[in-house]
Amino acid sequence: MTATPSTSPDPINDPLAAVLAGIGAWHCRRFAGHRLRLGRHGAVHDVELRPALGGVLLPSPACHTGYSSHNPDDLTPTDDGTTCVKCLTRGARRRADQLRTGSGQLALDLAV
């Protein structure tokens, strides 16, 4: 995931924001360390946290594939490998950028 949930708002002074933040935090926990499936579709997507109503971060497909309901309950966490071509391409591009800039240097196993 590429973003972190924001801090919790004050439930006394802003109860709606507190409820939305709680919903967002719950969905973020559901998808932490997982990938997702959209509805009944078979493709497995990488997860990205994106701002939704009230600025609350919610899990969504990293490739920005839309889903008509915009309801995170229609997303299913999975440990299956990514099968979405857009997510795979995006991940490969990110790894190539990291190698090009040196921020993603791979460690060599030199133990004999």
Q: Supply the minimum distance, in Å, between the C-beta of residue 61 and Zn ion.
A: 4
Minimum CB separation of residue 54 from Zn ion in Å reads: 25
**Contact between 34 and Zn ion per CB under 5 A:** no
Distance CA 36, CA 80 (A): 9
**Distance (Å, whole) CA 22 – CA 108:** 42
The size of the interface with Zn ion (CB under 5 A), counted in residues, is 6
Report d(CA 57, CA 54) in Å as an integer. Answer: 9
Examine residue 45 and tell whether it contacts Zn ion (CB under 5 A).
yes
- Which letter does DSSP use for residue 61 in this model? E
Tell me the two tokens of residue 3.
């973003």
Choose which of 21, 28, 63, 75 interacts with Zn ion (CB under 5 A): 63
Contacts to Zn ion by CB under 5 A: 45, 61, 63, 84, 86-87
